[in-house]
Amino acid sequence: MKVQLINGSPHQRGCIHTILEQAARCFASQGIKTEEFWVGKSPISGCLDCKACKKNHTCIITDNVNQFSAKAANADAFIFASPVHYAGASGSLTSFMDRLFYSNPRIFYGKPAAAIVNCRRDGAASAFDQINKYFGISNMFTVGSQYWNQVHGLTPDEVLTDEEGIQTIRTLCSNMAWLMQCIEAGAALGISAPEYEVPLRTNFIR
């Protein structure tokens, strides 16, 4: 089994990377592989609403969104992690997730997911809620912990001093590992994910 860890920070080796390292250690202790994917610091375009992705589930914009989509298809679970910018997720991660989930949503169906956010002081709750919205609309199973998945610190060293925050991440990863194992055990017994209906659309204004 494998968990994709998405680093939504413009700093490849910053606070978010430090948090994801803690997550990777927890998963490794339970025999679960991880891979960290950095969204990078190059500008990431938002969705153009061109609908080209509805033909082949690939975004018409050539960047790391399509690169990650190929990886996501073979992953068993996901953690999307972001610094808090203006009480929200980073702009890069927001554009990345908008296009990723819109272009190929079925690769996420029936898989566990979680959000992690890091901030210096405040705004974590709204950023955490923002990322979780993607899971709730994609037939995913959002994994919780003993507290909301937020860690505080301006530097990687400060992050590691947030004992409660780091413990929250360990608990999150243990819960996710358990859920992944339950899904795997169920599949071995012939219990598969539900057959999802074709989504219906009802406009509020007609």
Q: Is residue 196 a part of any domain in this protein?
A: no
Q: What pLDDT was estimated at residue 199?
A: 86
Q: Is residue 200 a part of any domain in this protein?
A: no
Alpha-carbon distance 185 to 36, whole Å? 26
**pLDDT tens readout for residues 38-51:** 999 999 999 999 99
Alpha-carbon distance 129 to 134, whole Å? 9
Q: Is residue 38 a part of any domain in this protein?
A: yes
Q: Is residue 197 a part of any domain in this protein?
A: no
The 10 Å Cβ neighbour count of residue 74 is 9
- Which of 83, 53, 90, 82 is CA-nearest to residue 69? 53
The CATH number assigned to the domain holding 86 equals: 3.40.50.360
193 has a pLDDT exceeding 90: no
Q: What pLDDT was estimated at residue 159?
A: 98
Q: pLDDT band for position 96 (50/70/90)?
A: very high
**pLDDT tens readout for residues 159-176:** 999 999 999 999 999 999
This prediction's pTM: 0.96
Q: Is residue 205 a part of any domain in this protein?
A: no
Number of independent structural domains in the chain:
1
Q: Is residue 43 a part of any domain in this protein?
A: yes
Range of the domain at 162: 2-189
The 10 Å Cβ neighbour count of residue 139 is 16
Q: Is residue 78 a part of any domain in this protein?
A: yes
Alpha-carbon distance 143 to 175, whole Å? 7
Q: Do residues 57 and 104 touch, judged by C-beta distance below 8 A?
A: yes
Location of structure tokens 């061109």: 50
206 has a pLDDT exceeding 80: no
- Which of 110, 115, 112 is CA-nearest to residue 133? 115
DSSP 142-164: E---SS-SEEE-SSHHHHHH-HH
Q: What pLDDT was estimated at residue 205?
A: 82
